[in-house]
């Protein structure tokens, strides 16, 4: 079989080891593996199956469409989704045994009106992120509405949750403040006669560094894929990036000193040199902002990306290294063999590693290795 010219190789053994290490951080809590946004670019269905095989208790997705796609793939385990605009297909979600989130009284009313039977609903409280979730008086109103609906047998409240804003900065005072607001919100729910069910507040960084907030379940996202939530974070838990992005040289040629490379001619060869053409570009999610800044592993060394990233391709400066058409190029991976990491590409692109992996697509072929 001919090797693809753009390939993301996902190490399922590393993924399973990451989940095991994260579970050890919160041994008394259930674990939710977040597979939203196509599992952060790793492929939602294969990663969901691998997470289940590794023993994760729950899967988490953002949208109803993602949840239903998992059900259509054969997944039957506990599954929560949390982001929906008005008019979402709650009926299909309830029929598929997907737990949905209510972040306001209006949303709860819409879920109840659409559900063909009693839905299982988790309530989200805004503890300080100021995104989704009910805040202050809105939370009190949502609790009252949920209590009335549950007393009438119209809903089963199965959990209460929120999301940290600054957990990737463990010493940030917002973390203590949010945890306190969350505890108070749970107490308000209990006082209204609702058993809170699963209480969950921790994302990846809080799972790694904030045991006081582990509660009944932790949600692991980017850390499950082996990427640090923030490059400045330190923790003892061993995590390995599971995705390696590879390409192959489509052309290798000599260019003279003074030759200019790619659109806008933003790079000029200072000497006679060899350049290689890598057939990935912003059509595959390679950021234009990485132009003249990122590096790849090619011809046995890290070499610079030169000139502007194009839709389908970019150029690297191989210098005097020996290379041929078809030779492998590694854009990023775990870093074990000297290749750049997704964090390196994030720095070069002026973004975060979450975005580097999540935006991968286009003509990239995903290959899965290892796993149960």
Per-residue pLDDT of the chain (372 residues), as tens digits, is 677 889 999 999 999 999 999 999 999 999 999 999 999 999 999 999 999 999 999 999 999 999 999 999 999 999 999 999 999 999 999 999 999 999 999 999 999 999 999 999 999 999 999 999 999 999 999 999 999 999 999 999 999 999 999 999 999 999 999 999 999 999 999 999 999 999 999 999 999 999 999 999 999 999 999 999 999 899 999 999 999 999 999 999 999 999 999 999 999 999 999 999 999 999 999 999 999 999 999 999 999 999 999 999 999 999 999 999 999 999 999 999 999 999 999 999 999 999 999 999 999 999 999 986
pLDDT in the model for residue 211: 97
- The answer to whether residue 36 is catalytic is yes
Tell me which long-range contacts 325-328 makes (C-beta under 8 A, separation of at least 24).
Answer: 325/249, 325/250, 325/251, 325/252, 326/248, 326/249, 327/248, 327/249, 327/252, 327/276, 327/298, 327/299, 328/246, 328/247, 328/248, 328/298
- The answer to whether residue 263 is catalytic is yes
Helix H or strand E segment including 140:
helix 137-151
Both tokens of residue 356?
Answer: 């580097």
Rounded to whole angstroms, the Cα distance separating 287 from 353 reads 12
Q: What is the dihedral of CA 262, 263, 269, 273, to 10 degrees?
A: 10
Q: Minimal CA–CA distance to 169: which of 84, 235, 89?
A: 235
- Considering the candidates 40, 235, 260, 263, report the single residue annotated as catalytic: 263
Both tokens of residue 365?
Answer: 């072929």
- Considering the candidates 36, 40, 90, 282, report the single residue annotated as catalytic: 36
Q: pTM (2 decimals)?
A: 0.95
> What is the three-class DSSP state of 368?
strand
Rounded to whole angstroms, the Cα distance separating 235 from 215 reads 20
Report CA Rg, the chain.
24
pLDDT in the model for residue 1: 60
Both tokens of residue 129?
Answer: 């992120």
């Amino acid at each position: 079989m001919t090797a693809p010219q753009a390939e993301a190789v996902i190490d399922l053994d590393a993924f399973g080891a990451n989940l095991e290490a994260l579970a050890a951080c919160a041994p008394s809590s259930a674990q939710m593996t977040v597979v939203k946004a196509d599992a952060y670019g790793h492929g939602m269905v294969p990663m969901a199956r691998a997470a289940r095989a590794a023993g994760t208790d729950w899967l988490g997705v953002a949208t109803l469409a993602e949840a239903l796609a998992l059900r259509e793939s054969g997944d039957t385990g506990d599954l929560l989704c949390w982001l929906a605009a008005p008019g979402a297909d709650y009926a299909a979600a309830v029929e598929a045994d997907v737990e949905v989130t209510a972040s306001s009284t209006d949303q709860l009313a819409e879920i109840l009106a659409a559900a063909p039977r009693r839905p299982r609903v988790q309530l989200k409280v805004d503890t300080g992120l100021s995104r989704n979730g009910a805040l202050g008086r809105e939370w009190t109103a949502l609790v009252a509405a949920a209590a009335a609906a549950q007393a009438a047998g119209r809903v089963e409240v199965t959990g209460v949750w929120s999301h940290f804003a600054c957990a990737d900065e463990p010493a940030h005072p917002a973390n203590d403040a949010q945890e306190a607001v969350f505890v108070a919100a749970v107490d308000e729910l209990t006082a209204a006669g609702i058993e809170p069910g699963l209480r969950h507040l921790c994302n990846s960084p809080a799972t790694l560094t904030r045991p006081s907030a582990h509660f009944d379940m932790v949600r692991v996202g980017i850390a499950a894929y082996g990427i640090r939530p923030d490059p400045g974070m330190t923790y003892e838990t061993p995590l390995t990036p599971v995705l390696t992005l590879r390409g192959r040289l489509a052309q290798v040629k000599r260019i003279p000193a003074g030759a200019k490379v790619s659109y806008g001619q933003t790079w000029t060869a200072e000497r006679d040199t060899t350049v290689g053409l890598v057939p990935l570009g912003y059509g595959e999610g390679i950021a234009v902002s990485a132009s003249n800044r990122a590096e790849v592993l090619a011809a046995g060394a890290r070499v610079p990306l030169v000139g502007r990233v194009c839709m389908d391709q970019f150029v690297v400066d191989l210098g005097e290294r020996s290379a041929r058409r078809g030779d492998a190029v590694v854009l990023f991976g775990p870093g074990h063999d000297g290749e750049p990491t997704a964090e390196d590409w994030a720095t070069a692109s002026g973004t975060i590693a979450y975005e580097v992996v999540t935006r991968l697509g286009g003509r990239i072929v995903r290959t899965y290795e290892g796993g149960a």
